[in-house]
Amino acid sequence: MDKAFALYGCGKAGISVALALKGAGWSVAGCGSRSTASAEAGAQWLACPLLKGPEELPAGIPLMIGVPEQALGEVDHEIASRDQAIQGRIVFHLSGAVPSRLLTRCRMKGASVGSLHPLMILPDPLAGALALRSATFAIEGRPEALAVIRSMALAISGKCIALSPHSKTLYHAAAVTAANHLVALLWESQTLLARAGVRPEEALPAFQALVEGTVKNIYSSGPVASLTGPVERGDATMVKNHLSALKRWPDSRERYRVMALAALSLARRRHPERYMDYDALEKLLS
């Protein structure tokens, strides 16, 4: 079956990626899940046959596993023990946190394993499938699996990056920093503005244009060229005033200090000639 695959694990990620693949010309030969209700929902979303178990998987097609990381070991064992056509099958999971070698039993039974992780928030299947058209996919695995999942990623969005198994955790830390830590950073900004007397419901929208403009600059000019503010200017007096204003809230002061040091690293790249000002700033922040 050319350009066909099966799905095991019908959560938001699995269905989102499967829908995106359908939109890119792939067909879903069937879907299954540990939960009957989840499998039935997946079959409805994907308009595909419902598989009662791994023993019903059609031979010779890739299998995409869309279960949470903590369930991968259990599902690996289930598929390896019940799939009668596991030899030579491409089996890949969607986790960004763990490498494909976690599918130990499938690999020992002769499957070629891999992983395909979209750098995208997937709030629900339909919105997720649409968002994936612009996502970058991180791919990793054995050569046979890598060839297939690369073709899937390129069919959906045309963008993918290849990882080694050893770099998977570092990759995931980078993704968490870009998404989750950004959320925490904006929450911190909202909190500080509320402490300055602005109503909380007005504080977050107040930053929207500033944040969107900053992100736009980063992607047009790069992080180093986009840095502005007192650290970039080497203004130790202003930074000292900020630290003084934050003394009442030690946790916020520490977060400011750490982020200012990170900004200082960028500033040194942009203006190496300002090393004396930056040395004074580093002394203040350290």
CA–CA dist 280, 273 (Å, integer): 14
Res 72: pLDDT: 96
CA–CA dist 133, 70 (Å, integer): 28
Cα 275–chain centre separation: 36
Q: Which among 163, 193, 223 is the end of a domain?
A: 163
CATH code where residue 216 lies: 1.10.1040
Q: Which domain, by its residues, includes 34?
A: 4-163
Give the global pTM.
Answer: 0.90
Work out the mean pLDDT of the chain and round it to a whole number.
96
Residues 12 and 18: beta-carbon distance below 8 Å: no
Residues 62 and 78: beta-carbon distance below 8 Å: no
- Do 53 and 185 lie in one domain? The reply is no
- Do 132 and 207 lie in one domain? The reply is no
Block residue for tokens 């992607």: 219
- Do 80 and 201 lie in one domain? The reply is no
- Do 176 and 158 lie in one domain? The reply is no
CATH code where residue 18 lies: 3.40.50.720
- Do 210 and 129 lie in one domain? The reply is no
- Do 153 and 56 lie in one domain? The reply is yes
- Do 16 and 130 lie in one domain? The reply is yes
- pLDDT exceeds cutoff 80 at 1: no
pLDDT digits 0-9 by tens, 218-274: 999 999 999 999 999 999 999 999 999 999 999 999 999 999 999 999 999 999 999
pLDDT digits 0-9 by tens, 89-141: 999 999 999 999 999 999 999 999 999 999 999 999 999 999 999 999 999 99
Backbone φ, ψ for residue 49 (5° rounding): -60, 145
Q: Which among 138, 163, 188 is the end of a domain?
A: 163
Where residue 200 falls among pLDDT bands split at 50, 70, 90? confident
- Do 189 and 234 lie in one domain? The reply is yes
- Do 61 and 140 lie in one domain? The reply is yes
Where residue 64 falls among pLDDT bands split at 50, 70, 90? very high
DSSP state letters, 2-37: TTEEEEE--SHHHHHHHHHHHHTT-EEEEEE-SSHH
- Do 20 and 75 lie in one domain? The reply is yes
Counted domains in the chain? 2
CA–CA dist 19, 129 (Å, integer): 6
- Do 150 and 254 lie in one domain? The reply is no
- Do 221 and 274 lie in one domain? The reply is yes
pLDDT digits 0-9 by tens, 152-169: 999 999 999 999 999 999
Closest residue by Cα to residue 132 from 153, 146, 110: 153
Q: Which among 163, 184, 217 is the end of a domain?
A: 163
pLDDT digits 0-9 by tens, 29-53: 999 999 999 999 999 999 999 999 9
